[in-house]
C-alpha cells in the first residue's frame, strides 16, 4: 500500500511520514511533494490539503483527516467525489476537550478575568457568583466532543443544556434538537460553548442574532471552527455589553493575524487552536490502525459522512 502525506509545514509532513512508516511496516509512506507516480497512491493522510492535491491520485481509496473535523478536506474545490474521508478521533482528543471546556466555563462562571484585574489593582474585591446549579450553560453540538463536554459540565453541577441535529439523551443534560428548538436552547444560556462541525448550516451561526437571544452579559466559548463566528458581530456585542467575555481557540485565519482586534481586546481570551490537539504519536497510532482496518475490510468506524459535512 502507498500512502501520501501532506501538512502545510514541510518539516511536520516529514515527521508524520517517518512516524507512519514506522507504524506501517511493508507499506510505503511518502510526502505528497515526492509522489512521482500518482496512480500508485492508495491513501492520503492530510491536514488542510492544497486545492487539487488529492485530485492528482486517480486510485485513491480513502482520505484521512489528521483531526476530527473534515471541513479542511471538503474545502478543496477540486476534491474527487465519493472517496471516503476518515476522521481521527479518540479518547485523547475527548479528554483534552473536556479539560479545555471545564477550564474556560469555570473561568467565566467565577469571573476570573475580573478577579485578576482586581489583584493587579491590589483590590481585595470579593466576587461571589451563583452556585453552579444556578448557572445555565449550553453546548452546541453533542457529538464525540460535545457530549463529553456537556457531561463534564453536568458533573460539575452546572444546569447544562445541549443542542444537536437529532434528539439525544444524556444523563444530567437537557437536550434540544434541530432548528425548531434552537431558540429554546439559547434562551437563558449564560455560558455558551460551540462544538459544532463547520458545515453550510453552521457557518456564521455565532452572529448578532444568536448573541441577542442570550441573556445580557453571557459568555461565549468557540472551540470548533473560526468561520462559525462572525467576528464583527462579536466585537459589537462585547462593546455593547450584550456579551461579557469570549474565549476563542479557532479563527478564520490561523495563525490569527497580529493586527486582529481579538488579540488585544480586554474581554477576549485567545488560545492558538490548542483546545484539543491530539498527541501526534497517539494520533499516528489511530491513523495507522484505521488504515490497516480500511485496507483489510474496505471501511472503518471513523468514516465521516461527506454529504452531511461531518
Question: Which residues of this protein are in contact with ligand NDP, per CB under 6 A?
Answer: 67-69, 89, 93, 141-146, 163-166, 195-199, 201-202, 223-225, 249-250, 273, 275-277, 310
Please tell me the distance from the alpha carbon of residue 180 to that of residue 130, in angstroms, as a whole number.
Answer: 30
Q: Which among 111, 92, 195, 105 is positioned nearest to 157, based on CA atoms?
A: 105
Q: Residue 67, interface with ligand OXD (CB under 6 A)?
A: yes
28 binds, among ligand OXD, ligand NDP, none (CB under 5 to 8 A by kind): none
Of the candidate spans 10-18, 23-31, 64-72, 237-245, the one that interacts with ligand OXD by CB under 6 A turns out to be 64-72
**271's grid cell:** 488560545
Element (H, E) at 139: strand 136-140
The verdict on whether 50 is a catalytic residue reads: no
Task: For residue 107, report the phi and psi dihedrals to the nearest 5 degrees.
Answer: -65, -45
297 binds, among ligand NDP, ligand OXD, none (CB under 5 to 8 A by kind): none
The verdict on whether 213 is a catalytic residue reads: no
Please tell me the distance from the alpha carbon of residue 225 to that of residue 212, in angstroms, as a whole number.
Answer: 21
Give residue for cell 443544556: 161
Please tell me the distance from the alpha carbon of residue 289 to that of residue 295, in angstroms, as a whole number.
Answer: 10
The one among 69, 84, 113, 146 contacting ligand OXD by CB under 6 A: 69
310 binds, among ligand NDP, ligand OXD, none (CB under 5 to 8 A by kind): ligand NDP
Contact call for residues 195 and 141 (beta carbons, < 8 A): yes
Q: How far is the CB of 27 from ligand NDP (least distance, A)?
A: 26
Q: Which is nearer to ligand NDP, 159 or 222 (CB)?
A: 222
Please tell me the distance from the alpha carbon of residue 74 to that of residue 305, in angstroms, as a whole number.
Answer: 11
Q: Residue 196, interface with ligand OXD (CB under 6 A)?
A: no
Please tell me the distance from the alpha carbon of residue 154 to that of residue 137, in angstroms, as a whole number.
Answer: 9
Q: Which is nearer to ligand OXD, 68 or 221 (CB)?
A: 68
Q: Rounded to an integer, what is the distance from CA 141 to the centroid of its chain?
A: 10
**217's grid cell:** 452579559
Give the DSSP letter of residue 193: E
CA angle, residues 7, 54, 300, in degrees to nearest 5: 85
Residue closest to ligand OXD when measured from CB atoms: 67
Please tell me the distance from the alpha carbon of residue 278 to that of residue 96, in angstroms, as a whole number.
Answer: 8
Write down the catalytic residue from 117, 225, 253, 260.
225
Q: Which is nearer to ligand OXD, 65 or 245 (CB)?
A: 65
Residue closest to ligand NDP when measured from CB atoms: 143
Q: How far is the CB of 130 from ligand NDP (least distance, A)?
A: 28
Q: Residue 68, interface with ligand OXD (CB under 6 A)?
A: yes
Q: How far is the CB of 152 from ligand NDP (least distance, A)?
A: 13
Q: How far is the CB of 72 from ligand NDP (least distance, A)?
A: 9
- Classify residue 298 as left (phi > 0), alpha (psi -120 to 50) or beta: left
Q: Which is nearer to ligand OXD, 269 or 277 (CB)?
A: 277
Q: How far is the CB of 95 from ligand OXD (least distance, A)?
A: 13
Active site residues: 225, 273
Give the interface with ligand OXD as residue ranges (CB under 6 A): 67-69, 277
Amino acid at each position: 500500500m502507498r500512502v501520501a502525506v501532506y501538512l502545510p509545514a514541510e518539516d511536520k509532513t516529514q515527521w508524520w511520514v517517518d512516524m507512519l512508516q514506522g507504524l506501517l511496516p511493508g507499506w510505503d509512506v511518502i510526502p505528497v511533494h515526492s509522489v512521482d507516480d500518482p496512480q500508485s497512491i492508495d491513501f492520503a493522510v492530510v491536514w488542510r490539503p492544497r486545492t487539487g492535491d488529492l485530485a492528482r491520485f486517480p486510485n485513491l481509496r480513502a482520505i484521512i483527516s489528521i483531526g476530527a473535523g473534515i471541513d479542511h478536506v471538503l474545502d478543496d474545490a477540486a476534491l474527487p467525489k465519493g472517496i471516503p474521508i476518515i476522521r481521527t478521533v479518540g479518547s485523547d482528543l475527548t479528554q483534552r476537550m473536556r479539560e479545555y471546556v471545564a477550564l474556560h466555563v469555570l473561568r467565566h462562571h467565577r469571573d476570573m478575568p475580573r478577579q485578576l484585574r482586581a489583584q493587579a489593582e491590589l483590590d481585595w474585591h470579593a466576587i461571589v457568583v451563583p452556585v453552579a446549579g444556578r448557572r445555565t450553560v449550553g453546548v452546541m453540538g453533542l457529538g464525540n466532543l460535545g457530549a463529553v463536554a456537556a457531561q463534564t459540565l453536568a458533573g460539575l453541577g452546572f444546569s447544562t443544556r445541549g443542542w444537536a441535529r437529532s434528539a439525544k439523551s444524556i444523563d444530567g443534560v437537557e437536550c434540544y434538537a434541530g432548528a425548531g428548538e434552537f431558540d429554546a436552547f439559547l434562551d437563558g444560556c449564560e455560558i455558551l460553548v460551540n462544538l459544532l462541525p463547520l458545515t453550510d448550516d453552521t457557518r456564521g451561526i455565532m452572529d448578532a442574532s444568536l448573541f441577542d437571544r442570550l441573556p445580557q452579559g453571557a459568555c461565549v466559548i468557540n472551540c470548533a471552527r473560526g468561520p462559525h463566528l462572525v467576528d464583527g458581530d462579536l466585537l459589537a456585542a462585547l462593546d455593547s455589553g450584550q456579551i461579557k467575555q469570549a474565549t476563542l481557540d479557532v479563527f478564520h485565519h490561523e495563525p490569527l493575524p497580529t493586527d486582529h482586534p481579538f488579540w488585544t481586546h480586554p474581554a477576549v481570551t485567545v488560545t492558538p487552536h490548542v483546545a484539543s490537539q491530539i498527541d501526534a504519536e497517539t494520533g499516528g497510532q489511530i491513523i495507522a490502525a484505521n488504515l490497516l482496518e480500511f485496507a483489510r475490510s474496505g471501511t472503518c468506524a471513523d468514516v465521516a459522512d461527506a454529504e452531511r459535512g461531518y
